[in-house]
Amino acid sequence: MSDDILTRASVPAPANAPANAPSADRPAPASSRQPVRAAVARAAELARDAEERARKRQHVKGKRTARERLDLLLDTGSFEEVGRFAGGDIAAGTPGAAVITGFGEVWGRKVAVYAQDFSVRGGTLGRAEGEKICRLMDRAIELKVPIVALIDSGGARIQEGVAALTEYGHIFRRTCRASGFVPQISLILGPCAGGAVYCPALTDVIVMTRENSNMFVTGPDVVKAATGETVSMEDLGGGRVHNAVSGVAHYLGEDEADAIDYARTLLAYLPSSADEMPPRYAYAATRADRDTAARLASVVPDNDRQPYDVLEVIRCIVDYGEFVQVQELFAGSAVVGFACVDGRPIGVVANQPNVNAGILDVDSSEKVARFVRLCDAFNLPVVTLVDTPGYKPGAAQEHAGIIRRGAKVIYAYGNAQVPLVTVILRKAFGGAYIVMGSKAIGADVNYAWPTSQIAVLGAEGAVNIIHRKDLQKARETGRDVDALRARLVADYQASTVNANLSLETGQIDAMIDPEQTRGAIADALRLLERKRRVRHTTKHHGNQPL
Pairwise CA distance, residues 182 & 194, whole Å: 26
Question: Residue 98 in contact with residue 117, Cβ under 8 Å?
Answer: yes
Q: Is 195 among the catalytic positions? A: yes
Beta bridge partners of 214: 191, 238
CB 430 within 8 A of CB 391: yes
Return phi, psi of residue 160, to 5°. Answer: -95, -5
Dihedral angle at the C-alpha atoms of 499, 503, 509, 511, nearest 10 degrees?
Answer: 50
Q: Are 305 and 509 in contact (CB under 8 A)?
A: no
Candidate list 195, 332, 430, 461, residue with the active-site label: 195
Residue 432 annotated to the active site: yes
Rounded distance between C-alpha atoms, residue 252 and residue 513, angstroms: 37
Cα–Cα distance measured from residue 508 to residue 448, given in angstroms and rounded to the nearest whole number:
7
Do the beta carbons of residue 496 and residue 462 sit within 8 Å? yes
* Sign of the dihedral through C-alpha 43, 49, 54, 55: positive
Calpha distance 120→329 (Å, rounded): 34
Residue 194 is a catalytic residue: yes
Q: Coil, strand, or helix at residue 381?
A: coil
Are 264 and 78 contacting, i.e. CB atoms less than 8 angstroms apart?
Answer: no
Read off the DSSP letter of residue 27. Answer: P
Catalytic residue among 83, 194, 239, 406: 194
d(CA 1, CA 129): 19
- Rg (C-alpha) for the chain, rounded Å, is 29
Judge whether 431 counts as a catalytic residue: yes
Cα 286 from Cα 293, distance rounded (Å): 11
From 97, 432, 462, 522, active-site residue: 432
* Residue among 201, 205, 299, 268 at smallest CA distance from 517: 299
Q: How far apart are CA 454 and CA 462, in angstroms?
A: 12
Task: Give the dihedral of Cα atoms 368, 396, 307, 304; nearest 10 deg.
Answer: -100
Among the options 431, 461, 474, 519, which is catalytic?
431
In contact, 419 and 531? CB cutoff 8 Å: yes
Q: So which residues are the catalytic ones?
A: 194-195, 431-432
